[in-house]
Amino acid sequence: MAEVHREVETKYEVVAELQLPDLVELFGSVPRGTKAPSSEESSWAEEGVERQRLRATYFDTADFHLAAAGLTLRRRTGGSDAGWHLKVPMADGSRSEIRLPLGRGATTVPARLVAMLYAVTDGRELVPVVKIDTDRTVRHLVDEARNLAVEVADDLVTTRPVPSSGSGESPPATSWREIEVELVDGPTSLLDSLDPVLRASGLVPARTTSKLARALGRGSLRAAGGTTARKASTTKVAARTKAASGKKAASGEKARAGEVALAYIGAQVDTIRAQDMPVRLDAEGSVHAMRVATRRLRSALTTLGPLLDRKVTKPLGTELRWLARVLGEARDAEVMRARIGAAVDEERPDARLDPAVAEGVDGELDSAYRAAHDDVVAQLSSDRYRALLDALRALVEHPPLTDRAGRSAQKVLPGLVAKSDARVGAAMRAAHTARDEAERETQLHRARKAAKKARYSAESVASVFGKDARRFAAAMEEVQEALGDHLDAVATRARLRELASGTEQPGTAFTYGRLHALEEARAQRSGELVGEAWAAARKKKLRAWLR
């Protein structure tokens, strides 16, 4: 079984001769908890010194695709956490470290890690790129309650190049000393408070976040390797457009329609790949980000369809719809959990709230999300998902551009956006003339999807049409959000009815009824906001650029 460890640390460079002061004295000026230090007594204490001999082999593709994505993969012996470690940077500045046992193979990456990394490697072989030995001295700092707060590792690092890494000429062996300060128990602000104290003692913030980057002599490995999608969205796009259309490529206002389309498509493919690992780790916002990129890409393939061969893009659209649906189930469960949870929290101060409701709702909604997220992870490990990633790579590397893609973006793209705009108007009119509430809600759901596609279509051409496209997209986003809030309130009411029907406790059922009434009032208010957002979005000046 894999273990996931959250790592929050800061790394410092230090000259070999520097002698660190006593850590209790050094950290004494930084308060921990509620007890402030004084001249006679510090709130810190040091408990135990541990010496370790660590030997690690780092793995990557021959052209460093993992490092370019900010990932670090190693097999390490020695210390208390010997095993395979995959470090994944998170949005909050921390890193999640996936750990697996050492196993028998010293040079073969475990199949589970290989599968997890497919979105980054595209199936390329993971090979040893460098070996690093570390002589580590670990000191443990505890607070006034003797809780382990911080670990300070003083490392003497020596690299051993791997000639067969496939990365070209091997870098020379190097040695250096560094200090790692890792937060064990406490707020991340504690490291911020410690930073000026450590700098004053002679430490310098490290230029790299990993030993691998420094061992290879690169200030940053993000410039190496990289996804093919990102490359496709920059300099190679123009060349491909030229080759596919037979016309000279251009840029800026003279850009070809195909250039604009491929740049946007490449960016969405990049995001899907980049969110793969955070989604697996259930990082906050990752499911939503991956789902949005999937929807944007599918919308682009529809809106920009005349620029691409439909025989290629239509099957892709089907698979993207499948992925968005899988992600959507988890996202909808996440939104429902947050929405009803917030409503329950608002009612907690009221004595009439049955405590069983809070516990039951939290447990049931969390279980629903966990099940949906487990299914997402299972699908990300499926052959179908890997086939989709392969197809997306082929789309970007060998774009099936039509002759129309070689025409001026200024002449071709506005008309494509106008078509998506027309679908929003049609859906809103149908909702306005609906015969009953059920039909109205159906048409509003259709209008929400249409507004979302219109927004995405405008965003996809914003590189050419600037403020005009962005203002139109913003207006459609307001419509989309207003409709979303309204439909979420409708869906929440339905879920509350389900919860109420499943309980035999009158008090619990009554509380669900109260929450249902609140959502009914919210639905009415949000319905009014829908009208206001649509009135603003209908202004003719927003469409002056659409011809």
Average pLDDT over residues 17-30: 79
> Residue 253 has what pLDDT?
59
pLDDT in tens, 238-255: 555 555 444 444 445 578
33 vs 206, residue with greater confidence: 206
Q: Is the pLDDT confidence value at 357 over 80?
A: no
> Residue 279 has what pLDDT?
96
The H helix count followed by the E strand count for the chain is 17, 9
Does 151 map to a domain?
yes
Does 344 map to a domain?
no
Do residues 122 and 10 share a domain? yes
Q: Average pLDDT, whole number, for the chain?
A: 84
Do residues 399 and 413 share a domain? no
Rounded to whole angstroms, the Cα distance separating 270 from 306 reads 23
Lowest mean pLDDT of 54-68, 212-226, 362-376, name the range.
212-226
Do residues 259 and 164 share a domain? no
Do residues 546 and 437 share a domain? yes
Do residues 160 and 73 share a domain? yes
> Residue 228 has what pLDDT?
43
Number of domains in the chain: 3
Q: Is the pLDDT confidence value at 221 over 70?
A: no
Q: From 387, 407, 427, give the residue that closes a domain.
A: 407
Do residues 199 and 313 share a domain? no
Does 333 map to a domain?
no
> Residue 296 has what pLDDT?
95
> Residue 229 has what pLDDT?
40
Do residues 173 and 300 share a domain? no
Do residues 161 and 73 share a domain? yes
Residues in the chain: 547
pLDDT in tens, 416-474: 999 999 999 999 999 999 888 889 889 999 999 999 999 999 999 999 999 999 999 99
> Residue 230 has what pLDDT?
44
> Residue 173 has what pLDDT?
78
> Residue 245 has what pLDDT?
45
> Residue 96 has what pLDDT?
92
> Residue 234 has what pLDDT?
42
For residues 158, 163, 166, 170, the Cα torsion angle rounded to the nearest 10 degrees is: 60
Q: Report percent pLDDT > 90 for the chain.
A: 53
Q: Report percent pLDDT > 70 for the chain.
A: 86
Q: What is the pLDDT confidence band of residue 374, given thresholds at 50, 70 and 90?
A: very high
> Residue 248 has what pLDDT?
43
Do residues 313 and 176 share a domain? no
Prediction pTM value: 0.83
Q: From 223, 253, 274, give the residue that closes a domain.
A: 223
What does 135-181 look like in DSSP terms, one character per residue? EEEEEEEE-TT--EEEEEEEEEEEEEE-GGGSSSSPPPP-EEEEEEE
Q: Is the pLDDT confidence value at 32 over 90?
A: no
Q: Are strands 95-100 and 148-161 parallel, antiparallel or unpaired?
A: unpaired
Do residues 46 and 107 share a domain? yes
> Residue 165 has what pLDDT?
47
Domain with 85 in it: 3-223
Does 184 map to a domain?
yes
Rounded to whole angstroms, the Cα distance separating 500 from 440 reads 25
Q: Is the pLDDT confidence value at 28 over 90?
A: no
